[in-house]
Amino acid sequence: MLKKERIKNRKGRGFCPGSDFQHWNAVLASKYPEILLRNKNDRIAFPKPQAFAVLRVCTGFNRMTDLTNILLLDAGNTSVKWKLGSAGELHRCEAINIADLELWMREHISEIKSLALSSVQGKEWNATLQSICSELGMPLWVAQSELENSGLTCGYHEPVNLGVDRWLAMLALWQRQKSGFLLVDMGSAITLDAVDDKGRHLGGYILPGLEMQRRALMATSESIGILLAGEADFRFGLGLDTSEAIDRGIFISVEAMVEKVLNNTGLSQDQLVIIGGDARWFIENTEINNQNIDLVIQGLAICYSQKLEAGELT
């Protein structure tokens, strides 16, 4: 149980990462109701050091690190998301429209000190971003998957081969709850990663995303393509026409796989976390409501903070 103890930084003064006092107080209070931060002359007295772990989980900050001017960028297979600082506004664009990202960077160049990148894009896209950063005089740090971090252990034989977005999302979730989970990312591809209560990554699955499966069926014949020309409607229930039967068949096959993995790993539905653009279909059709859309960026902030603390970045 955390106690209300004042701790001090190296200069003997209370310290809080970030400036939104009420926000951080609410974050800690929701995790540990017995914690209360006290604001005095813009300095904040914290309880004992464990409280910083909560802040690090939720924000990527810690008591010696301020990421306000760090551009945190998650380059996925089809879209790019970014924040200026852990508590910044979330922006996004299509990966093919890197010019939109470049324009935003140029408009905010005075606010950006350096860029931290999580990318599953190819060499050409990454090289283009590197060129933009070089032109703007902006240092670029690229995250990689690791064997271990903060008690989370990668299950891959070669950790570097694990998609860095999967690793960072797992790290953020592990730092947040320090207990087992099944993380499902429903993007253009669907990934499932299981972690036990000891922080061991048990492995995962990768399969085509909902829309990718739908397009694959559309390509099989002209008649099916015509039937699926409208908007998708993924949900439970037997389909009453061919279009519904396809959409609902795709949806229930993914739902059944998630349930199977939960059973096989001994995890419960309470330990299921779903993220990604298509997570909304599960949120709308099930009782699951734990969608954490920026876990990758949260994990990226954690890793970047660790590098700063270790003196590996400036």
Strand partners, 250: none
Q: Nearest-CA neighbor of 213 among 260, 257, 247?
A: 247
Round the CA-based radius of gyration of the chain to a whole number and report it: 21
Rounded CA-CA distance 257/205 in Å is 10
- DSSP state string for 112-145: -SEEEEEE-S-HHHHHHHHHHHHHHT--EEE---
The residue from 74, 165, 278, 294 that is catalytic is 165
- CA-to-CA distance for 141 and 201, rounded, in angstroms? 25
The verdict on whether 165 is a catalytic residue reads: yes
Active-site residues, by number, are 165
